Amino acid sequence: MTAVPRPAGDGRWRVTVTVRVKGRSFARLLLPLAMTFMGRRARGAFSTALDDAAKQWNDQIPELVRKDMEQLPLELVESLFATDEQRTSPSLGT
C-alpha cells in the first residue's frame, strides 16, 4: 500500500492511496469485481483511518514542538518505563 499526500487548494491535504494485491489464488481474479461493490466502503475506511491519524498528529505535534529539545529524550525514557496506570494518568507529562 502506498499513501501519497498532496496539498489541496483550500489549505487541506489530499491523500491518494494505492493498494497492490499479489498472489496466485483464483480469488485474485474476483478482486476487481468485489472492489466494484466494496470500493466505496474501502475508501471510506481508509479515509476515516487517515482522518484519525491526522487528528492525532494535529493534537500531539504542536505540543511536542513547543517543548524544550533537551527535555524530550528524558520524557521518552520515562514513558518507556512507565506503567499502564501512569500512562493513563492525566498528571503524566505535566
Return the pLDDT at 92: 47
For 6, list phi and psi in degrees, rounded to 5.
Answer: -140, 140
Instruction: Centre a 10 Å sphere on the Cβ of residue 93 and count the other Cβ atoms it contains.
Output: 13
pLDDT in tens, 15-45: 888 878 777 788 778 888 888 888 888 888 8
Q: State the pLDDT confidence band at 87, using cuts at 50, 70 and 90.
A: low
Which amino acid is it at 5? P
Return the pLDDT at 78: 87
Residues in the chain: 94
pTM of the model: 0.47
Return the pLDDT at 75: 83
